[in-house]
Chain A
């Protein structure tokens, strides 16, 4: 079945870049997403990328997609303490609107 894998934890210093990685299995996924969840809060959509794109940049966020390897990454430039949160990648299931989420990567930003 479909599966999405992420590393569980990443610690960086304020001002450094953060790179969060994700692998997925469903090659028919049309869109891949990055969500941010702060403690006790809901999900905030950060960005998404269409499967025929290799890269998407949005201010401090850069998403890279390697469709051949089914690998997705999120780079946060100039990471701030306010970026500390759990980051989930998710893939859409055959354009149904259903999402399969990874386990989430906890990003810790040290001052």
Chain B
């Protein structure tokens, strides 16, 4: 199946710094990338949808100025957590839909800890 490579897998940063998470589609072109967040012992919640060459669309309650999404090419989407705070500590994971949206290919996820 298709592969989505997500980096870094773990990051610890100080409060107030920004963190960039990358998701690359390795053997296919991903015009769309979904970004999810999972708080401890909770389910995955969709944060935003990024589309190559256009602005991302954010789900209700997600701050677009804090979670900056860039999808500048067909193989790379990035999520930047701006001025991260401890409450942003979470598991972030991206996914790209497969052909005809039959399957979602997930990255490995990034565990962000803000201290």
Contact = CB atoms under 8 A, between A and B. Distances in A.
B5 to A, nearest CB: 11
Contact of A98 (B46, B100, B109): B46
Interface residues of B, number: 24
B37 to A, nearest CB: 11
B49 A42 contact: no
Contacts of A30: 101-102
B93 A98 contact: no
A80 interface: no
Nearest to B1: A45
Contact of A102 (B43, B46, B49): B43
Interface string B39-54: 0001111100100000
A40 B111 CA distance: 8
Interface range for A: 20 to 34
Interface string A11-45: 00000000000000000001101000000111101
Contacts of B44: 43, 88, 99, 101
Contacts of B43: 88, 101-104
B109 A43 contact: yes
